[in-house]
Chain A
Amino acid sequence: MSEPAKNPSETLVEITLNDKKISAPEGSTILDACKQANIDTPTLCWAENLTPVNVCRVCVVEVEGSRALVPSCSRPIEEGMVISTDSERVNTSRRMVLELLASSVELDRADKEIRGWITSYGSNPDRMGNSSEIKTSKQPVKIQDDLYVRDYERCILCYKCVEACGDDAQHTFAIATAGRGFEARISTEFDAELPDSACVYCGNCIGVCPTGALVFKTEHDMREENSWDPDNQKVTETICGFCGVGCNLELHTQDEKIVKVTSPSDHSVTEGHLCIKGRFGWQHAHPEN
């Protein structure tokens, strides 16, 4: 959806990206232009199906004339903009953002590419001090029902779940950021248990979570018993049969059993979002569950 339309009559804007002049459609963000130029840019809070909130700051780039670095995910390109994505300042900031997160949040279940960036940018979270002596997000896992697990010691506060629950997808507004500073957290009102909150169990928050803080209970339980094995999972595309909308489903199966359901974020009907039926209505396929 966010791919710029390939319309030849569209106005092009010329920018200088890492000393090379390139043209990109007007209205593109710097990140769009980087993608067009095949420049790998780390992102954590950005997703193609959500409004950019530019809070993680890992995608920052240097723009000539701007004192501070600029978040590439949300900054539109302008004619004549001179951008550098691999200067020392950019690399230091990216390395530090990842280092700060890795020192405070458990990232072992984060998306593969996130763990890859921690290595490739040379982050060394250990130098922040012994994890027992520094502040971290360590806390007990929240299991309040049969569908969701919320493991907030893995939460990097990227706001994606809040956006998916709010007006980027579901319009339920069951969760929001509460508290302030390092105590800021994703919460229901007065930390009410999820079944008592406004949550409708669409699972869209889980769908967008990049670090495994929000997971399906099936996945959580399998991880606990060490049987979660993404390398041996198969993805089968199908269309949800519960109503006439026609949402694309991706059934993730392991050992002939459905373990998780997603929808492609570039799909024109769902934009990656589903409802409780599409997301969790597969359990009748395995009656012994």
Chain B
Amino acid sequence: MPDIKFGTSLPTDSEKKAVDETIESHGPVTLEITERLVYAGRQRTQERRHLLLPALHALQHTSGWISPGGLDYVCRVLEIPPAEAYGVATFYHLFSSQPPSGDQILHVCNDIACSLNGANDLIDALKKEGHETKPSPCLGQCERGPAVFVQRIASQDTVVFDADLKHIGKFLTENSEKESIKLPQAGSDSLRLLTRVGVLDPNSLEDYQSHGGYEALKKALEMGDEQIIEEVSKSGLRGRGGAAFPTGVKWKAVADEKGRAHHLVCNADESEPGTFKDRVLMENDPFALIESMTIAGLAIGAEKGWIYIRGEYPIARQRLTAAIGKTRKSGLLGDNILGSGRKFDIEIRSGAGAYICGEETALFNSIEGFRGEPRNKPPFPTTNGLFNEPTAVNNVETLANIPRIILNGGETFAAEGTDQSSGTRLFCLSGRVALPGLYEFEFGATLGEILDAAGGFSGPGTLKAILLGGAAGSFVTPESIDLPLTFEDTREAGVALGSGVIMAFSDEDELTKTVLRIAEFFRDESCGQCVPCRVGTVRQEELLIRIADKNPVEADISLFDDLASVMSDASICGLGHTAASAIRSALNLGLLETQ
């Protein structure tokens, strides 16, 4: 037996049962007897450690917290040192280390978009009614906020949105039944990724197939792996998660790593404030993601695909889980896909409230049962990814383009959009626009055209600023209205396209508060691993609070510049690299100047 000291607290019967069931549902746990029996630390093992996150979810769901007895039981079953498991549990916002006071916790989004719609008043109102309420970072419901993620004990989590402060009593019960999707461009023949959204029944495989579903997989199986990658390379498809890396190059790099198991990871941890595109795709067209992942898995030679989905997306998780079950039954996933003899299967892993886990290497650590701390790169995921094996990580929207590339060919796809930005792009419109929601445009559309499609500016006062790319992006003023939102044009303009966020603000909005909320977001979401980000995000927020009601003096600006430099130059990952970018743009544009 490994030499690990466990505690003496005992689990409750329901905790024990929940943990046992969770672990069993992942198949038999095999413990390979090796020379080294200590399964912990930085020694990566696939055998048990990766079940830690699902087991913690089971505990939280059953008892409403991670109790000492429950945690100790998990540690015994999985042979994990209790101090390490405690370190993992305390990393995530959705795991509580205090016993619950009721049977649910309301996580109320008061991030930038929802706070424009009265989120902070909603928090006060819900507290007054006696609910256990916690302010939350962006819940990805920006087009219909304020929104609440209802984390329940022993029953299904849910999300309620469109809160009406006048009817707060009925809001929690009535709005949870509301059907979700309102697509502003519904029915438009310019849609590519969104054609089936709101049209088909997301729970019906037959409905998906009658809308052209699984034609691409059939064709892909005939084409062969190399040809798939060839078409994707020709399409010029670039990642839609924010980094814009060419998908074909990534896939080829993984496919070329011979001799080791490969993984496909779908990054569905959509947490960039203002972003909700992947949620809409997963909730309303779940089979499309599964088909796309299957094609990707075949192409890169992975037999295992993972969907890492944020814990605050319960509907998407339920629908994808159901869809995976149905496709498995129909032979579209599993050991013999469509009779081809090829293997591919998908496992869903839920995040637990940590923006940082959208960073690909933090995501690997999170799946593997470690703290979601990013790894230093290089080595890159294509050679040393999940479980240290070659891994392709793709965003949901990126993958959603694959069936069309297979069916119509890479060149047809490349002909859409511009030279360097092929295809279409999803844009998440929120804030002061008439029709907030998810929009799809061929690359090349200008910021103004997109705003016009959303009914233009709406609200008190006049349009003052637009936040592009989320909290990690940058503010622009109405002067940038003619900027085409392509990868190349935004890069040249020194702004970020990021995850497709377009959030409009009026001159009557308190932009100082918005900027402070962004600073608070990064402070809360920093993993704490590296000094520049752990301390830098705190000092950045303190500085902004100090200068919030007065114009900054030279010393303030030089301190901000130094903080921004060390975070962007010396942090380990993208969170630190971009933690000052939106704030810097707001300062540069004079958006915070007091009159």
Contact = CB atoms under 8 A, between A and B. Distances in A.
A179 B528 contact: yes
Given A97-B532, A167-B40, A173-B83, A181 B569 contact: no
B566 A177 contact: no
A100 B570 contact: no
A253 B566 CA distance: 42
Rank and list the top 9 A-B pairs by shortest CB-CB distance, nearest first.
A184-B528, A173-B81, A96-B566, A167-B41, A198-B5, A189-B82, A176-B87, A100-B535, A166-B41
Contacts of B371: 177
A135 B528 contact: no
A59 to B, nearest CB: 10
B430 to A, nearest CB: 26
Contact of A173 (B41, B354, B376, B378): B41
B505 interface: no
B570 A181 contact: no
The range of chain B's interface size is 35 or more
Interface string A153-182: 000110000000011000111111111111
Given A100-B531, A190-B97, A60 B537 contact: no
Given A103-B535, A129-B542, 20 more contacts: A54-B572, A55-B572, A57-B530, A57-B531, A74-B376, A92-B565, A96-B566, A96-B570, A127-B555, A134-B538, A156-B531, A166-B42, A167-B40, A167-B41, A171-B3, A182-B538, A184-B527, A184-B529, A188-B82, A189-B86
A3 interface: no
A39 B470 CA distance: 41
B353 to A, nearest CB: 10
B138 interface: no
A126 to B, nearest CB: 11
Contacts of A239: none
B38 A182 contact: no
Interface in B86-125: 86-87, 90-91, 97
B570 A57 contact: yes
B187 interface: no
A101 interface: yes
Contact of A187 (B7, B86, B530, B538): B86
Interface string A116-136: 000000000001110001110
Contact of A58 (B41, B378, B531, B542): B531
Contacts of B566: 92-93, 96-97, 100
B87 to A, nearest CB: 4
A183 interface: yes
Contacts of A192: 7
B109 to A, nearest CB: 19
Contact of B530 (A56, A92, A178, A183): A56
Given A69-B570, A96-B562, A134 B531 contact: no
A173 to B, nearest CB: 3
B83 A134 contact: no
B535 A188 contact: no
A283 interface: no
Contacts of B38: 167, 171, 173
B530 A179 contact: no
A93 B539 contact: no
Contact of B528 (A60, A71, A180, A188): A180
A127 B562 CA distance: 11
A254 interface: no
A60 to B, nearest CB: 5
A103 B534 CA distance: 13
Interface string B375-406: 01010000000000000000000000000000
The range of chain A's interface size is 35 or more
14 contacts: A57-B570, A68-B577, A74-B376, A75-B378, A96-B536, A97-B570, A100-B531, A103-B535, A167-B43, A176-B86, A181-B534, A182-B528, A187-B83, A197-B83
Interface of B: 3-5, 7, 38, 40-43, 68, 71-72, 81-87, 90-91, 97, 354, 371, 376, 378, 523-532, 534-539, 542-543, 546, 555, 559, 562-563, 565-566, 568-572, 577
A252 interface: no
A54 B525 CA distance: 20
Contacts of A177: 87, 371, 528
A230 B528 CA distance: 33
Contact of B81 (A74, A75, A96, A198): A198
Interface of A: 51, 54-58, 60, 68-69, 71, 74-75, 89, 92-93, 95-97, 99-101, 103-104, 127-129, 133-135, 156-157, 166-167, 171-184, 187-190, 192, 197-198
B410 to A, nearest CB: 29
B565 A96 contact: yes
A97 B240 CA distance: 33
A167 B40 CA distance: 8
Contacts of B571: 57, 68
Contact of A57 (B7, B40, B97, B532): B532
A183 B529 CA distance: 11
Contacts of B42: 51, 166-167
Nearest to B375: A54
B539 A180 contact: no
Q: Which of B91, B534, B538, B570 has the most CB of A within 10 A?
A: B570
A68 B532 CA distance: 13
B572 A57 contact: yes
A184 B539 contact: no
B532 A96 contact: yes
A101 B538 CA distance: 12
Given A68-B570, A166-B40, A189 B71 contact: yes
Contacts of A54: 376, 572
B534 A92 contact: no
Contacts of B542: 128-129, 133-135
Nearest to A97: B531
Contacts of B40: 166-167, 173
A230 to B, nearest CB: 27
